[in-house]
Structure 1
Amino acid sequence: MTHGLLWLPLLVAFVVLAALGWLERRRQRLFLEWAAGSELSKLDGGGGARLKDGCLEWTSFEAGKFKPQGSLMVSKLELVELLSLGSGDAPLTDESHGACRLRLIGDGREYDLPFSDADRARRWIGELMSRSRCEL
């Protein structure tokens, strides 16, 4: 009987890990459907984003579906800044890694697009600016 009780926490851990894996797989499948046909897309801990037909849209994953957070026409994009995620308007240095956000300025408004990886965000800046055909 004690041997069975020793295996019970491992069984519970296995069930929890299997459920988390199933949820992640579902999130990825929904993202692939949502981002189909996009020129540029990303999915990470900060949420999803896609560039499709000149429109940049970003979402968060909540309650088993993607919830739209904002959109911006790339042709109206004026400036993209890389900022730290939690400390106001502090710019991110080139040596920084980890969670950050892109501040998108265009159409007279500012938008924040979260990223879980600063290197990926830097690549996105180059892609977005080349697609918007802006010169800073």
Structure 2
Amino acid sequence: MSHALLWLPLLAVFILLAWLGWVEYRKLEHYRQWAQQFEASKYDIAAVLGLQGDRLTWGRPTRQGIVNLQTCDLGHIQSVWVESSGQRLETEATPSKGTIHLVLQPPTGEGHRIPFTELPLALAWRDRLQPKLAGKIEGEFA
């Protein structure tokens, strides 16, 4: 009887881990289906992000699907940068504390803040989006 009581918590932990794995699997499956419509996309715990042409779409992954979807036209964005705790981050060597955000700033109004969990991934997306903004600016003066 005492051996069974010792194994019961282990069984409960196993069931909990299996359930958490199933939840994460459902999130990934919803993301895979959602991401097929984009030329570039990213998934992490904080948010999903997709780029198709000059349209950037992001939202939050859940086991029911992608929720809180927002879309932004890069033609209306003036600048893009990565920040953590209100401080701009330029390289991976920059220490980051708190949540990392990719910030899209339009000429007027409030900027869009897209959460990231990994600084290198956020910097890669910043570097991917900046040429699209530079192309827009060069096209305006040409």
Give 1:66's aligned amino acid: I
Secondary structure of 2:88 counterpart:
coil
Q: CA 1:107–1:29 in structure 2 vs 1: closer, same or farther (change >3 Å)? A: farther
Task: Report SS of the residue matched to 1:46.
Answer: coil
Q: Matched residue pairs, number?
A: 133
Q: Which has the higher helix share?
A: 2
Superposition pairs for residues 15-94 of structure 1, below 5 Å? 15-62=15-62, 64-84=64-84, 87=85, 89-94=86-91
- My pick for the range that moved more, 63-72 or 6-15, is 63-72
Match of 1:130 in 2: 131
- Residues 64-97 of structure 1 show CA distances to partners (whole Å, capped at 9, x for unaligned) of 221124221122222011110xx2x222252235
* 2:82 and 2:122 in contact (8 A); partners too: yes
Larger strand share, 1 or 2: 1
| Unmatched tracts of structure 1, length 5 or more | none
TM-score (norm: length of structure 2): 0.83
Cα distance in 2 between the residues matched to 1:81 and 1:118: 12
Q: Which runs of 5+ in 2 are unaligned?
A: none
Measured in 2, the distance between the counterparts of 1:26 and 1:107 equals: 38
Q: Rate the CA distance shift 1:50–1:119 in 2: closer, same or farther, 3 A.
A: same
Q: What TM-score, normalized to structure 1? A: 0.86
Aligned partners of 1:107, 1:91: CA distance in 2, in Å?
18
Q: Distance in 1 between matches of 2:88 and 2:130?
A: 18
Moved over 4 A (4+): none
Share of identical aligned residues, percent?
Answer: 28
| RMSD between superposed Cα atoms in Å | 2.1
